[in-house]
Amino acid sequence: MTQTLRLKKNADRRLKAGHLWLYSNEIDIQATPLKGLEPGAQVTIEAANGKALGVAYVNPNSLICARVVSRDADVRLDRSLLVHRFNQALALRDRLFAKPFYRLIHGEGDLLPGLIVDRFDDVLVVQLNTLGMETVRDEVIAALDKVLSPRAIVFKNDSSGRRLEQLESEVAVVHGELPDEVLLEENGVRFLAPVLDGQKTGWFYDHRANRAWLNGLVAGKRVLDLFSYVGGWGVQAAAHGASEVLCVDASQTALDRVAENAALNGLHEQVSVGHGDVFEAMTALRAEGEKFDVVVLDPPAFIKKRKDLANGERAYARLNRGAMRLLGRDGLLMSASCSMHLFEERLVECVRGAVRHQDRHGQIIYRGGQAGDHPVHPSIPETAYLKALGVRVFRN
């Protein structure tokens, strides 16, 4: 028989509003002690009056002590529910995209907290970011196999979220055989996806729509792609007519992949790379008198936790100032942030401050977020993490 977790009086309001998380201070630990529950176990969530509200998995050692997987108290997180959720998610992606390159499962956005699945045609890369998902790892493999019959399933379990859940790091092919090269296509451009040794799942599908917008404005332009990773922005810009692209990243391995991706698309003459710290690289480029028509800023999350907000905002402000100094008289800046704690209005403030710092004018001509394969849960603001601003920067 499944154990229960009873909420304090009125602590069910967020849950009834659609949220999927429960915090330890919302639990009536007199009625249902958290410490008596096995980490990762599934429980029935009850309101203070004993009414069943749904099923969740628990981790008594985490601030988010329970995550809801169904509002039907008779359902369990098992192979059957996973197959159902995977088919629901697949139906959305089939409506959005003509080709099988996308995020298939986006955690809470697809009603599967703690689970990420990115699809590279017949290769699936999975992240189990919570203990509750880790306990059903075999069911995840079986359900993915039933729904998509992939050639290979890779577990890329090396996220910071796993460390918070006290889970070990793991990168392994857990089903099938991984081909020598995993390819993807985005906005008509082909890339090699480093699914085993790359960042996250090897690729960042979330900026697909923002890249598509920028691709329409780069023909004949000189483009600087900062924090380029494997060239998602820069190689696409070259493919859409940019005359010259410089990709800068602190990882030489990532830059080697930029070169491979440029060559894969016949763009090796248009794309060059610069290795080093981005802040230092911007200073060096300015000292050399370099100017660009378009600068892309897509940094890693500077703000991991709320307490990092002040330092993170200063870093974003400094970064935007440095980027604008490298723009010509009438340039275009794509300024992005994947820090969920940095709201869009604060990114706008960083851009505004950078524009005025150099006595220029700025016009925000584009506001973007994550693509549709990263659906936002309307009750969970944290699922809307990506911001992208297209800013025209010009002088009097």
Which residues are known to be catalytic? 338
For residues 299 and 282, the answer to whether their CB atoms sit within 8 Å is no
Sign of CA dihedral 120, 123, 127, 131: positive
Identify which of 171, 165, 93, 179 has the alpha carbon closest to the alpha carbon of residue 135.
165
Give the H or E element holding residue 255: helix 252-264
CA Rg, the chain, in Å?
23
Identify which of 342, 260, 270 has the alpha carbon closest to the alpha carbon of residue 299.
342
| Amino acid (one-letter) located at 286 | R
Task: Report how far residue 42's alpha carbon sits from residue 68's, in angstroms, rounded to the nearest whole number.
Answer: 9
Task: Report how far residue 53's alpha carbon sits from residue 287's, in angstroms, rounded to the nearest whole number.
Answer: 62
Classify residue 152 by its DSSP letter.
E
Dmax (CA) of the chain:
72
Distances (CA, A) of 174 to 105, 123, 125, 198, 224: 18, 11, 10, 17, 38
Task: Report how far residue 320's alpha carbon sits from residue 256's, in angstroms, rounded to the nearest whole number.
Answer: 26
- The crossing angle, in degrees rounded to 10, of helices 232-239 and 252-264 is 20
Q: 106 has which bridge partners?
A: 116
